[in-house]
């Protein structure tokens, strides 16, 4: 425990020491390093696959599920994907150094708001080793020092990837401590990391709700909550039925395991009888289970009765909760009660309802007549995504490079003193 | 304890229920309410002074210091100041509803980033009752619901002010629960408040470092850290001596008890002998105690030796720590080690040094040739100030109305689904 504390503190000190140089890196230098990192991943493909095989063997021995093993697996194609992801960052604008605003005060002081790196970022994540390269690239492009703590299942894969990337930083003449990896699978390491306010500016958990809750409850460092999406679609009585069917089908089935997939459908009572049967038939093509309120179950013989827990659950599966509501306000109230503040949609041709919905619903992304599946950095046109924030402070919704920056006021004077 | 939990939870529920209506208020409605609140404070002056007298009597009996009693005291002039503060908010732009950016994606989706209220804000503060009216006005102007927890010393004053303001909201036809006051002096109330993630979106502590630390360590709700300022001025060897003397004298003595006052002076060794003696003489006019490093003490007979603690301390008093440094980099390193990230200044005529300093120093406000005392919402031209953030997330430096807002993406579609 004491050894662990010393170890983690040393990582923090090294990161804090590396941060100022990271903040001062020119865009060309960062882009050259990103290109070199991509190249190194390709060159070291064989050894990365070898280290990943250790994780896969241990995972199978431990009895990890097929889904977890799939997330853990590295292939030539996936390594190429990581390299291409690093290269894609080169094309993005470097946000650091931007003057967001600049103005002159009556006393002649000139005040500039400038965009600067956050400083030291810690990212705590679960099984997917591709997050390692992804996070390293995002942190480098934004001039931040990064400490990574990956899941124990992917330990050897993550260690191998960070070793390749650190070596590349060094060869490029940069401080390799801009990227550090916690070489421990002990959960104690996370608890210690979360308290290191003196060295770390922000912690971002990337993973399931258990991890996120643990971070929020234990961190003394400011954190950015990402991920949980209990997303709703409200089919208004003024919605177009074919459009509603397409959107619900897409939002539920196009990729059900992700946070922007729809989990609950609310339907206005006046359109339910016309809307639900053809929708249910389309959903049957993907074996979607419908868990319905009483009225839904009497309309759809294939529906099973929903429990209170179903309204609260992010199924991440081929399951859709369906509730018939008496009016628009009941739909909004249901969303206010159960929404995780991620993505919410209305299907309507009513101008007034579309405006009332987007104003009344409190979520990161509120849609009119489109699938919730678009809540995504690439779909929004950000080029890169750190995650999707479901909190209201600092960043909300898909986080692009700017979410890894803060501001600094630079004030140019000529001897001004306060009167 | 259980009763307290129920009570605080009820406050949270009422605030959350009031928040959507607050978010939807038109600017005119909010401004009319601010005007009515200002008028009501003036009308109720006598009763406010009467309630304040109870707090003052209790404070004297408890043996509170003169400084604390002064902060606690309400006078006709101070009540007028609170009213005028509310009226000043009327003139400010309403940030809510602003479309920060709007763009169209290749698939035709139109994405708008809109400014919306945070939702429910809790502010925890210490003795000054004027914060009550101030915070209520800022929250109303930004469409947020507010829960206030004031210090026990100002209990009757705060309760009286909030009662007047709540009555005014009601008379204006608004939900009085947009403003609530925790009617308890029990510290347990704060602990419970800080855990109410389901109802409160952000907590802002306004007070001393003990309060701020307590909030950061105990809150499950995201918090915004304000206040602590261990501010430095670095007198470069290329600085102009008369300008340096004016700025240090101003930053130290114009109002030493505030967070943007200077606490430590760093002086380049090549200018120390010319700069420090005339500066010390000027500082003597305000009885400023100089706590110096060895070299400073040998130059200034009136200086007392500084201890390690002096470099770390926000004196908030007529005390200045002075250190002679060998070079620019040593000054930057000292600041990196001891700064609280509030305000830092360099006095120099060197173009290169001015640029290196503003880039290398990591603080909310970095000055060239001006007093640190300008780090203030009004001095920056924001019109109002919620506090000065020393954290990097969400808001940094003086916080204007925008610091009490978040964003929402509104996406207008025509039936788009994800491919």
pTM: 0.92
Question: Residue A394 region, left (φ>0) first, then alpha (ψ -120 to 50), else beta?
Answer: left
- For residue range B66-124, what is the model confidence (pLDDT) as tens digits? 888 998 999 999 999 999 999 999 999 999 999 999 999 999 999 999 999 999 999 99
A133 Cβ neighbours under 8 A, 6+ residues apart: A37, A41, A82, A83, A85, A86, A161, A165
**Min distance B368 CA to chain A CA atoms (Å):** 5
A199 and A298 fall within a common domain = no
The β-bridge partners of B223 are B203
A213 and A242 fall within a common domain = no
Per-residue confidence (pLDDT) for residue B386, from 0 to 100: 87
A411 within domain boundaries: no
Domain, as residue range, for A255: 231-375
pLDDT by 10s per residue, chain B, length 419? 579 999 999 999 999 999 999 999 999 999 999 999 999 999 999 999 999 999 999 999 999 988 889 989 999 999 999 999 999 999 999 999 999 999 999 999 999 999 999 999 999 998 789 899 999 999 999 999 999 999 999 999 999 999 999 999 999 999 999 999 999 988 899 999 999 999 999 999 988 888 888 998 899 898 988 878 999 999 999 999 999 999 999 999 999 988 999 999 999 999 999 999 999 999 999 999 999 999 999 999 999 999 999 999 999 999 999 999 999 999 999 999 999 999 999 999 999 999 999 999 999 999 999 999 999 999 999 988 888 999 899 999 999 999 999 999 999 999 999 99
Q: Is A302 helix (H, G, I), strand (E, B) or coil?
A: coil
Residue B365 contacts A, CB cutoff 8 Å: yes
Residue B278 contacts A, CB cutoff 8 Å: no
**A413 and B369 Cβ atoms separated by less than 8 Å:** yes
A81 and A176 fall within a common domain = yes
Per CB-CB distance under 8 Å, the chain B contacts of A412 are: 354, 368-370
**Min distance B418 CA to chain A CA atoms (Å):** 6
A55 and A128 fall within a common domain = yes
* Residue B363: closest CA among B385, B332, B387: B332
Residue A20 contacts B, CB cutoff 8 Å: yes
Per-residue confidence (pLDDT) for residue B67, from 0 to 100: 83
Per CB-CB distance under 8 Å, the chain A contacts of B201 are: 392-393
Exposed (0-12), middle (13-18) or buried (19+): which is B138, by Cβ within 10 Å? buried
A418 within domain boundaries: no
B417 within domain boundaries: no
* Residue B404: closest CA among B148, B142, B94: B142
Residue B418 contacts A, CB cutoff 8 Å: yes
Per-residue confidence (pLDDT) for residue A212, from 0 to 100: 87
Cβ of A89: how many Cβ atoms within 10 Å? Answer: 23
A404 within domain boundaries: no
From the list A197, A393, A412, the residue facing B368 with the nearest CB is: A412
CB contact under 8 Å between B246 and A417, yes or no, is yes
Q: Average pLDDT, stretch A191-215?
A: 91
Task: State the Cα torsion B393-B398-B402-B407 to the nearest 10°.
Answer: -10
A93 and A201 fall within a common domain = yes
Q: What angle do CA B55, B58, B61 make, to 5 degrees?
A: 150
**A232 and A335 Cβ atoms separated by less than 8 Å:** yes
A158 and A274 fall within a common domain = no
- The enclosing domain of A337 has a CATH number of 3.40.309.10
Per CB-CB distance under 8 Å, the chain A contacts of B409 are: 364-366, 375, 380, 396-397
CB contact under 8 Å between B368 and A103, yes or no, is no
A225 within domain boundaries: no
Residue B355 contacts A, CB cutoff 8 Å: no
**Cα gap A96→A404, rounded to integer Å:** 10
**Cα gap A83→B6, rounded to integer Å:** 54
A243 and A181 fall within a common domain = no
From the list A105, A202, A250, the residue facing B392 with the nearest CB is: A202
* Total tally of structural domains belonging to chain B: 2
Per-residue confidence (pLDDT) for residue B185, from 0 to 100: 87
With tokens 């492009």, the residue in question is: A141
Edge-first strand order for the sheet with A179-181 is A179-181, A145-149, A120-125, A202-206
**A119 and A201 Cβ atoms separated by less than 8 Å:** yes
CB contact under 8 Å between A20 and B336, yes or no, is yes
**Min distance B192 CA to chain A CA atoms (Å):** 14
B401 and B315 fall within a common domain = no
* pLDDT tier at A217, thresholds 50, 70, 90: confident
Residue A110 contacts B, CB cutoff 8 Å: no
Per-residue confidence (pLDDT) for residue A367, from 0 to 100: 98
**Cα gap A224→A392, rounded to integer Å:** 9
A236 and A213 fall within a common domain = no
Per-residue confidence (pLDDT) for residue A13, from 0 to 100: 97
Domain boundary, last residue among A192, A217, A242: A217
Exposed (0-12), middle (13-18) or buried (19+): which is A172, by Cβ within 10 Å? middle
CB contact under 8 Å between A105 and B380, yes or no, is yes
Residue to substitute from B336, B416, B419, interface A, most A β-carbons within 10 A: B416
Report the complex ipTM.
0.93
From the list A216, A366, A371, the residue facing B410 with the nearest CB is: A366
Per-residue confidence (pLDDT) for residue B1, from 0 to 100: 55
B403 and B285 fall within a common domain = no
User: What is the per-residue DSSP string for B259-322?
Assistant: TTSEEEEEEEHHHHHHHHHHHHHHHHTTTPEEEE-HHHHHH-TT-EE--HHHHH----SSEEEE
A399 within domain boundaries: no
Answer yes or no: is pLDDT of A138 > 90: yes
CB contact under 8 Å between B201 and A392, yes or no, is yes
A242 within domain boundaries: yes
- The enclosing domain of B128 has a CATH number of 3.40.605.10
Edge-first strand order for the sheet with A343-347 is A304-305, A289-292, A319-325, A262-268, A231-235, A343-347, A365-370, B405-416, B110-117, B99-104
The two tokens of residue A328 are: 């628009």
Residue A416 contacts B, CB cutoff 8 Å: yes
A146 and A212 fall within a common domain = yes
A394 within domain boundaries: no
* pLDDT tier at A386, thresholds 50, 70, 90: confident
Report which DSSP code applies to A383.
S
Average pLDDT, chain A: 95
User: What is the per-residue DSSP string for B134-190?
Assistant: HHHHHHHHTT-EEEEE--GGGHHHHHHHHHHHHHHHHHTTS-GGGEEE-----HHHH
Domain boundary, last residue among A217, A251, A282: A217
Per CB-CB distance under 8 Å, the chain B contacts of A413 are: 367-371
Cβ of B388: how many Cβ atoms within 10 Å? Answer: 25
Per CB-CB distance under 8 Å, the chain B contacts of A17 are: none
B79 and B110 fall within a common domain = yes
- For residue range A21-71, what is the model confidence (pLDDT) as tens digits? 999 999 999 999 999 999 999 999 999 999 999 999 999 999 998 888 998
């Amino acid at each position: 425990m004491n050894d662990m504390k010393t170890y983690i503190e040393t990582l923090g000190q090294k990161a804090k020491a590396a941060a100022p140089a990271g903040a001062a890196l020119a865009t060309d230098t960062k882009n050259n390093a990103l290109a070199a990192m991509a190249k190194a991943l390709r060159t070291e493909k064989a050894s990365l696959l070898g280290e990943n095989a250790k994780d896969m063997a241990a995972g199978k021995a431990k009895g990890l599920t097929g889904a977890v093993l799939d997330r853990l697996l590295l292939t030539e194609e996936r390594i190429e994907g990581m390299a291409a992801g690093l290269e894609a960052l080169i094309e993005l604008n470097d946000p650091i150094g931007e003057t967001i605003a600049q103005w002159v005060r009556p006393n002649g002081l000139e005040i500039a708001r400038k965009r600067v790196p956050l400083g030291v970022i810690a990212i705590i994540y679960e099984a997917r080793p591709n997050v390692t390269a992804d996070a390293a690239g995002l942190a480098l492009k934004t001039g931040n020092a990064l400490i990574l703590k990956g899941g124990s299942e992917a330990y050897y894969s993550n260690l191998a990837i960070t070793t390749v990337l650190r070596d590349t930083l060094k060869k490029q003449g940069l401080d390799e401590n801009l990227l550090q990896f916690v070489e421990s699978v002990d959960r104690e390491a996370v608890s210690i990391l979360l308290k290191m306010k003196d060295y770390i500016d922000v912690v971002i958990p990337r993973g399931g709700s258990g991890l996120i809750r643990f971070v929020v409850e234990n961190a003394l460092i400011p954190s950015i909550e990402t991920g949980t999406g209990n997303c709703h679609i409200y089919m208004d009585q003024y919605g177009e039925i074919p459009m509603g069917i397409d959107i619900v089908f897409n939002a539920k089935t196009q990729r059900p395991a992700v946070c922007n997939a729809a989990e609950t459908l609310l339907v206005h009572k006046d359109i339910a009888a016309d809307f639900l049967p053809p929708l249910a038939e389309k959903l049957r093509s993907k074996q979607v289970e419908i868990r319905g309120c009483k009225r839904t179950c009497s309309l759809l013989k294939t529906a099973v009765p929903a429990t209170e827990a179903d309204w609260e659950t992010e199924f991440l599966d081929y399951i859709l909760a369906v509730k018939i509501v008496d009016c628009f306000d009941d739909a909004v109230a249901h969303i206010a009660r159960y929404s995780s503040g991620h993505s919410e949609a209305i299907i309507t041709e009513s101008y007034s309802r579309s405006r009332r919905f987007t104003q009344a619903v409190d979520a990161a992304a509120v849609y009119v007549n489109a699938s919730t599946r678009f809540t995504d950095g690439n779909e929004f046109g950000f080029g890169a995504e750190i995650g999707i924030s479901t909190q209201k402070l600092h960043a909300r919704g898909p986080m692009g490079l700017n979410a890894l920056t803060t501001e600094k006021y630079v004030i140019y004077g000529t001897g001004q003193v306060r009167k």
